[in-house]
Amino acid sequence: MNAVEIEGVSQHYGNLTVLHDLHLNLGEGEVLGLFGHNGAGKTTSMKLILGLLQASSGRVQVLGRSPNDSLVRRQLGYLPENVTFYAQLSGRETLRHFARLKGAALAQVDELLEQVGLTDAMDRRVKTYSKGMRQRLGLAQALLGAPRLLLLDEPTVGLDPIATQDLYQLVDRLRQQGTSIILCSHVLPGVEAHINRAAILAHGRLQAVGSLASLREDAGLPALIRASGLQHRAQLLQRWHADGHQARSLGVDGIEVVAINGHKLDLLRELLGAGGAQDIDIHQPSLEDLYRHYMDHAQATQTGEGAR
């Protein structure tokens, strides 16, 4: 059973269509990154999964049931974007209140506070918390009742690098325990190692979904190979140009070549054969590059449609 199944969902607000025929699945124990520009439909997708919105058409199933089912909600954790709490309650009181509402054991409250590093501040009012502390309290709130499905909307906003790293480690740990996670984010660097698949939304349409490897293949973005310390750079450049590769010299004895899919290993072999190569650096297209690629693509389609 998939943790989330979205089948052919469209969502309209009046004349405005914010989601076009979305198909998206999330398997058990899978981490899906959901990326897109502002207004791409990320929040709408989240709200559909949370049962806060009723899809205009199509079908949404969460943990095999309707998203409104209270059994589903008991097993679901949600960290909203820019989470806020009751300012006059302390962190501990806040968490206890939400634990009661969720039917989670109160003993879990102190554990979670420790896990997110708020033990020292738990008796202070939330009013005095920094943004990062509020975010961590929000995370603890989402983890109440050991959810099987976790929705994290911009979880790293306001977190310092160490707290961000801690968060990603937590995500890894939860994934190993079988929790399914959807992670919405603007911050692309650093996230790629912690997701199984990425989904890229633009203008209410799903542009691409898949593992990073399959997205790279699909996008056909080249890798960049850089090396330095070459003894016969001119020869190598000449040969590559003759073979139709894009190559250029870099610094005193360096070289850079664009490796389009399938040529990477050949180029590397030739580079190593040329002798003297040190410091070889292969730059794979990153999530950011992929994101940019699909965004440009979406933009082009959009303008193309507009022109017609």
Partner 1 sequence: MNTVWNIARKELSDGLRNRWLLAISLLFAVLAVGIAWLGAAASGQLGFTSIPATIASLASLATFLVPLIALLLAYDAIVGEDEGGTLMLLLTYPLGRGQLLLGKFVGHGLILALATLIGFGCAALAIGVLVEDVELGLLAWAFGRFMLSSTLLGWVFLAMAYVLSSAVSEKSSAAGLALGVWFLFVLVFDLALLALLVLSEGKLNPELLPWLLLLNPTDVYRLINLSGFDGGGSAVGVMALGGDLPVDGRLLWLCLLLWVGAPLALAYWVFLRRAT
Footprint on this chain of partner 1 (rule: CB under 8 A):
47, 50-53, 70-71, 73-74, 76, 78, 80, 82-88, 97-98, 100-103, 141
Which residue, 147 or 254, is less far from partner 1 as judged by CB? Answer: 147
Which residue, 71 or 187, is less far from partner 1 as judged by CB? Answer: 71
User: Shortest distance, CB of residue 100 to partner 1, whole angstroms?
Assistant: 5
User: Shortest distance, CB of residue 54 to partner 1, whole angstroms?
Assistant: 11
Tokens of 72: 């589903």
Q: Do 58 and 21 meet the contact criterion of CB atoms below 8 Å apart?
A: yes
Q: CB under 8 Å to 116, separation ≥6 — which residues?
A: 136, 137, 139, 140
User: Shortest distance, CB of residue 74 to partner 1, whole angstroms?
Assistant: 5
Q: CA-CA distance, 99 to 95, in Å (whole number)?
A: 6
Q: CA-CA distance, 275 to 252, in Å (whole number)?
A: 16
Which residue, 134 or 245, is less far from partner 1 as judged by CB? Answer: 134
Which residue, 51 or 190, is less far from partner 1 as judged by CB? Answer: 51
Classify strands 205-210 and 197-202 as parallel, antiparallel or unpaired: antiparallel
Which residue, 13 or 187, is less far from partner 1 as judged by CB? Answer: 13
Which residue, 155 or 222, is less far from partner 1 as judged by CB? Answer: 155
User: Shortest distance, CB of residue 132 to partner 1, whole angstroms?
Assistant: 17
Distances (CA, A) of 37 to 203, 239, 308: 8, 42, 24
Q: CB under 8 Å to 20, separation ≥6 — which residues?
A: 10, 204, 205
Cα–Cα nearest to 154, from 188, 106, 103 = 188
Q: Do 148 and 116 meet the contact criterion of CB atoms below 8 Å apart?
A: no
Distances (CA, A) of 148 to 123, 179, 211, 230: 29, 5, 22, 54
Which residue, 145 or 204, is less far from partner 1 as judged by CB? Answer: 145
User: Shortest distance, CB of residue 98 to partner 1, whole angstroms?
Assistant: 7
User: Shortest distance, CB of residue 25 to partner 1, whole angstroms?
Assistant: 21
User: Shortest distance, CB of residue 151 to partner 1, whole angstroms?
Assistant: 9
* Radius of gyration over every alpha carbon of the chain, rounded to an integer in angstroms: 24
